[in-house]
């Protein structure tokens, strides 16, 4: 799967509690045909947000479903899960985001939990020259469908027309970022331009003004409380110490990662 890594690479290793943001977007089936075959996770939450195309997901807890355009999936891997996401199309555009959200030490080994969110379950808020899809959190009197997540996330898919502005309040204890999907936005008081596939980290406790003077500006705005704990991460596992990471690999090797193993 060909993708662009906006968080989790050398340039931006993490924006606590966000450990990874991948943007997979291609209309060449050779780029996406391989999908994401079965692989494990522990100690982290993985979020998939589909923009175009469709994937089928399956996991070791027995969940199975289809993620189509506008759908979201919030998976709390907890103590361990095996899952796959494979394309459900042979041609056309495949475009989605994958975000990893850390779990605090006290909840890294919880039972896996999985929230499958249909496009219609995501409130759409119309503002002047702007529309917002509210995946998680509360904003403009609406509440997103994602529930019971430790770090209290806010996740917005924002589209602003030329000449429009949108003020987004960032919580006082939140880490936050804007990732532009399409077009360009002017972000914050200095109206810095953030273009397609670029990331801007926002300050806690500010009202961030997003303005569009391009043809369109569409972006994900994501915020959550920072955890502030040590992070030990390797491959699909995110723990607090190297020892815990070693145990995760050992449990995976011996089939004890998932419940009943
Ligand atoms: Mn995964």
50-68 pLDDT, tens digit per residue, is: 999 999 999 998 889 899 9
Give the number of residues written for the chain: 261
Distance 139 CA to ligand 1 centre (A): 29
pLDDT at position 259 = 75
Q: What is the mean pLDDT of residues 232-259?
A: 96
Distance 241 CA to ligand 1 centre (A): 21
Distance CA 38, CA 34 (A): 11
Distance 187 CA to ligand 1 centre (A): 31
Average pLDDT, the chain: 95
Instruction: Please state the CATH superfamily assignment of the domain spanning residues 123-229 in this structure.
Output: Jelly Rolls (2.60.120.10)
Instruction: Please state the CATH superfamily assignment of the domain spanning residues 1-121 in this structure.
Output: Jelly Rolls (2.60.120.10)
Q: Quick check: helix, strand or coil at residue 50?
A: strand
H or E element that contains 29: helix 29-32
Residues 6+ apart with CB under 8 A from 90: 29, 33
Q: What is the pLDDT of residues 10-44, one digit of tens each?
A: 999 999 999 999 999 999 999 999 999 999 999 99
Distance 44 CA to ligand 1 centre (A): 10
Distance CA 116, CA 135 (A): 11
Rg (CA), the chain: 18
Distance 84 CA to ligand 1 centre (A): 7
Distance 113 CA to ligand 1 centre (A): 14
Distance CA 261, CA 253 (A): 11
Residues paired with residue 24 on neighbouring β-strands, in sequence order: 96
**pTM reported for the whole predicted model:** 0.96
Give span(s): CATH 2.60.120.10, the chain.
Answer: 1-121, 123-229
């Amino acid at each position: 799967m060909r993708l662009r890594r906006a968080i989790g690479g050398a340039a931006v290793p993490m924006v606590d509690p966000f450990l990874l943001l991948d943007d997979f977007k291609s209309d060449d089936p050779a780029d996406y045909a391989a999908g994401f075959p079965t692989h494990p996770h522990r100690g982290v939450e993985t979020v998939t947000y589909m923009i175009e195309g469709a994937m089928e997901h399956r996991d070791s807890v027995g969940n199975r479903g289809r993620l189509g355009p506008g759908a979201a999936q919030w998976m709390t891997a907890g103590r361990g899960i095996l899952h796959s996401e494979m394309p459900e199309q042979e041609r056309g555009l495949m475009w989605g985001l994958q975000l990893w959200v850390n779990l605090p030490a006290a909840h890294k080994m919880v039972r896996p939990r999985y929230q499958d969110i249909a496009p219609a379950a995501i409130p759409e808020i119309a503002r002047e020259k702007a529309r917002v899809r509210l995946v998680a959190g509360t904003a403009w009197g609406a509440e997103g469908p994602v529930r019971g997540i430790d770090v209290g996330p806010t996740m917005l898919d924002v589209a602003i027309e030329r000449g429009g502005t949108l003020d987004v309040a960032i919580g006082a204890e939140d880490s936050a970022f804007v990732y532009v999907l399409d077009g360009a936005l002017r972000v914050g008081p200095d109206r810095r331009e953030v273009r397609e596939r670029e990331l801007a980290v926002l300050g806690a406790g500010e009202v961030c003004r997003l303005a569009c003077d391009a043809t369109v500006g569409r972006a994900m705005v994501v915020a959550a409380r920072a955890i502030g704990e040590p992070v030990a991460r390797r491959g699909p596992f995110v723990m607090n110490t190297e020892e815990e990471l070693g145990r995760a690999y050992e449990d995976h090797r011996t089939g004890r990662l998932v419940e009943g193993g």
